[in-house]
Amino acid sequence: MAEDFRLYGDDFNQDAIEQWFREEAQYHNQFSGGRFEDHPKLYQVFDWYYALLPYFHPRPDMRVLDFGCAEGQALAHLPAERRTYSYVGVDASRSLLERAARVHPEGEYRLMPADGIIPAKDGEFDYVVVLGVLHHVPNVAHYLKELFRVLGPGGRLILREPSHAMGRIPGSHTTLPGLSPNERGIPAHYLQSQLKELGMRVLSLRPAYHGVVLQVLRHWQPRSDQAWRVLVSIDKVLSDATRWNDHYQRPQIWQKLAPTANYVVAAK
Ligand SMILES: C[S@@+](CC[C@H](N)C(=O)[O-])C[C@H]1O[C@@H](n2cnc3c(N)ncnc32)[C@H](O)[C@@H]1O
């Protein structure tokens, strides 16, 4: 597992962590009012069928943390009956949070500090939803511990993270087109082992976003909800059938015939 620590930055010193944090926050600050406002249909539909419909059932008296909430768009598309809970959004980008507070004033928003301590009390939340965020942080194990800390007993953690290197050489800070300065995937086995170490029960770990499905979507977008549902079903079949092919580095074409992300749901 020594390589995992190098890849996921859990041995970064405090200066390197803070530099990474600032670079990522600066990158995301550019997008206030635009990039995140229109939550891509792909994420809306996949988040819904893979994770939210089966595992996200907050009652009105429950508290939900949307960690790395950006403009609050990911949960804003839920049917109204699923949006009756108290919502807290935390993000490292001040401008995205300002925008979130304007667009979704019913929520409460808190800025994530560079010291990596989530501004929340122990056990404050019944659900912690983290969609596409941990691959932007250097010290993933530390963040998982923090997310665990703020989750109450019996609470659920819902994660979506890409699983592959995204073309980045480990340790390199070269910015690649379309990516933030530091982002890189987190393999399922790493997430699973860290959650188990925290004493969490993994309820579901599903590979998703198959490379072939993503290629198809570059040229064709489903027009109806039914067509999206069919696409998710195809993605589930392809991703399950090729989960053995989930390599971190994918230089060969055959290695791209694999899922590119995972949904993980765990209970405290
Ligand atoms: C790819 S976006 C995902 C946004 C949203 N969760 C969604 O699914 O649409 C990643 C978000 O993570 C935030 N982020 C990056 N590093 C963070 C950190 N250390 N703490 C909290 N949020 C962070 C970014 O500012 C950005 O809003």
| Ligand 1 atom 18 nearest Cα | 92
User: In terms of C-beta distances under 8 Å and separation of at least 24 residues, what long-range contacts does 5-11 make, across chains too?
Assistant: 6/170, 6/171, 7/170, 7/184, 7/248, 8/138, 8/139, 8/140, 8/141, 8/186, 8/190, 9/137, 9/138, 9/139, 9/140, 10/139, 10/140, 10/141, 10/142
Reported as a single tens digit per residue, the pLDDT across 172-212 is 666 677 788 788 899 999 999 999 999 999 999 999 999 99
Using an 8 Å Cβ cutoff, are 89 and 69 in contact?
A: yes
Best probe residue, ligand 1, of 30, 48, 91 (max atoms within 8 Å of C-beta): 91
Give the whole-angstrom CA distance, residue 228 versus residue 237.
14
| Ligand 1 atom 1 nearest Cα | 132
Q: Where are the domains of the chain?
A: 2-209+263-267
Q: What is the rounded average pLDDT of the residues 22-35?
A: 80
| Ligand 1 atom 9 nearest Cα | 74
Exposed, middle or buried by CB within 10 Å (0-12, 13-18, 19+), for 261?
A: buried
| Ligand 1 atom 16 nearest Cα | 136
| Atom number in ligand 1 closest to CA 160 | 8
Q: Does 32 contact ligand 1 (Cβ within 6 A)? A: no
Q: What is the rounded average pLDDT of the residues 110-139?
A: 95
Q: What is the rounded average pLDDT of the residues 220-241?
A: 95
Which residues share a beta bridge with 130? 159
CATH no. for 2-209+263-267 = 3.40.50.150
Q: Does 21 contact ligand 1 (Cβ within 6 A)? A: yes
Q: Does 47 contact ligand 1 (Cβ within 6 A)? A: no
Best probe residue, ligand 1, of 133, 146, 179 (max atoms within 8 Å of C-beta): 133
| Ligand 1 atom 19 nearest Cα | 137
Reported as a single tens digit per residue, the pLDDT across 148-175 is 999 999 999 999 999 988 766 656 666 6
Per-residue model confidence (pLDDT) at position 82:
77
Q: Does 133 contact ligand 1 (Cβ within 6 A)? A: yes
Exposed, middle or buried by CB within 10 Å (0-12, 13-18, 19+), for 229?
A: middle
Compute the distance from residue 254 Cα to the ligand 1 centre, in Å.
31
Residue 2: pLDDT band (50, 70, 90) is: very low
